Structure 1
Amino acid sequence: MKPTRNTPAKTEIFNLINASEKALSHADIQLKLGALCNRVTIYRVLERLEEEGKIHKFVNVDGVVNFAKCKNCAGEHHHNHIHFSCEQCKSVICVENAVPEIELPEKFIIHDYNFVVSGICASCNSKK
């Protein structure tokens, strides 16, 4: 994979995602960036960051694509973990230590899956 240059937009988007404990949507990123770059540039940067193994994307329960930082993904993604979507605060969190077991019929091979669980996160639950 050919390395791409680090533009100010790419650096800022990567820093935003890397610093966040929660997954961010394209709209979240665009809002935080302000006038730094347009929506098309954001899409292109997100695609490059995913190709480089720096971020991963998944579709949330509401159909919105979210982006989160990668851990130990040098070019090949390993994100077979649960993504938790809070119904109250709308945050989406990678739950790395919860990996569901999936058993398929013989001759089926899993390459990847998207596992999103919705409910109330610990932070919202403790506010009750």
Structure 2
Amino acid sequence: MARARNIKHGFFRNDELSEIPPFGRLLFIGLWMLADRSGRLENRPKSIKGDIFPHDDVDVASLLLALHKHRFIQLYTVDRVKYIQICKFEKHQNPHINESDSEIPVPPPRRNTRKKPSTGVAPECSDTTPAESLILNP
């Protein structure tokens, strides 16, 4: 189900995000619309493509990998099901109060990071997430 989300103008000035091809940046925004209130969704590239790029020839799977590599999303698997966590989602989005709680499992902690035990809250995805710079400081 598509949802209303916010785009801050700092999104367009993010240096790290500029390393992602234009369709990848548009995909990143589109993922916000598809994600639940905790910024999670199933990693189903064909379905995502159908929802975000129904009329375009776009390799969503490779763009998801690029977003993961640059730490804008975290790709993970739980019980053989693939998922996506949008990094810093809950910090940058204000889901509608009527959106139901996430039924998608929280990603496991990343290796070699100093993380607190999981509390069910969306992870930051890394200690220095580029998504942090989506907030523009004048």
TM class by shorter-chain length? 0.3 to 0.5
TM-score by length of 1: 0.47
Q: Which has the higher contact order (CA 8 A, sep 6+)?
A: 2
| Richer in strand (by share) | 1
Please tell me whether Structure 1 or Structure 2 has the larger radius of gyration of its CA atoms: 1
TM-score by length of 2: 0.44
| Richer in helix (by share) | 2
